[in-house]
Amino acid sequence: MKCDEAQELITALVDKQVSDQERSSIESHLKDCQRCRFIYEREQALKREIGAAGARLHAPAELRSKILSDRRIFPGPERSSGSWTERIFPAWLFARPALALALAVVLILPILYFMRSPSEPISLAALEIHKKIIGGEISVQKTSNLDELRKWQIRAVDGEFAPMEYDLSSMNMLPAGGVVEEINGRKMLVTVYAGNGLSVTCFTFLGTEEDAPKIASVFFDREKKMKFYSFSKDGFNAVLHREGSIICILVSNMSGDQLLAMVRAKVQPS
């Protein structure tokens, strides 16, 4: 099975709507393909999140009992005829705007929840983590031995991916340490570079360009055919880019333009 075939079936697999034959061929693909496995795991997590959101969402008790006890909405067994739209949106509802509005809110909230980017917090969390590292609230494994740090980080994600590395020695910045952080069940490999009054924290994790926050401004590098997403918060600047299924976010006290120029210079298109 190829990736595009597998990806077409992933939603069906999450919803347990595949045949046994489809299941076994997609499962054997997922075993070998990290990228599709990541998409599958993300869909599963999203489904769990939606389920949990639905469970947290409660209509006011009075409205709830009104809706549930209304035979025109939920007819008893003797009156189960009529289409589901007639049952769910009976004509009387439109004559009672307040109740109709309340019902719409109850129905629409989960949809809005679904439309919300599920992964937006991870990129903004990176800025937060950088701030905490600089402020000493998160302690990193201090080492200038990048190989040692790298091996430790790769083990922390069971060898699924490796941290992205940058040689910033030309800017007098050297690796200072690293840590592994988990945001919404996703592991990020974090490497800190420092020197010359500057610091850069590099976050590597499995993801897609959807992990860029909506506030980001997008820069398309024609030569490298890559998109770079710049965003800032609390005086720190960040640039996100994707290499295959790996997302890299660099956060720094450098100016946004300087950081973007640096990332573009270091990145090799995959």
Residues that bind Zn ion (CB under 5 A): 3, 6, 33, 36
Nearest CB to Zn ion, comparing residues 33 and 190: 33
User: Can you state the angle between helices 97-115 and 34-56, rounded to 10 degrees?
Assistant: 150
Q: How far is the CB of 37 from Zn ion (least distance, A)?
A: 8
Q: How far is the CB of 1 from Zn ion (least distance, A)?
A: 8
Looking at the Cβ atoms of 33 and 259, the one nearer to Zn ion is 33
The least CB distance from residue 207 to Zn ion, in Å, is: 16
Instruction: Give the nearest distance from C-beta 10 to Zn ion in angstroms.
Output: 10
C-alpha closest to that of 62 among 107, 106, 113, 111: 106
- Decide whether 36 or 206 has the Cβ nearer to Zn ion: 36
The DSSP call for residue 96 is -
Please report how close the Cβ of residue 9 comes to Zn ion at its closest, in angstroms.
Answer: 11
Buried b (16+ CB within 10 A) or exposed e, 12-46: ebbeeebeeebeebbeebbeebebbbbbbbbbebe
Tell me whether residue 3 or residue 101 sits nearer to Zn ion (CB atom). 3
Nearer to Zn ion, 12 or 171 (CB): 12
Interatomic CA distance for residues 130 and 203, integer angstroms: 9
Give the start-end residues of each E strand in the chain: 141-142, 174-183, 186-195, 198-206, 217-221, 226-233, 236-243, 246-252
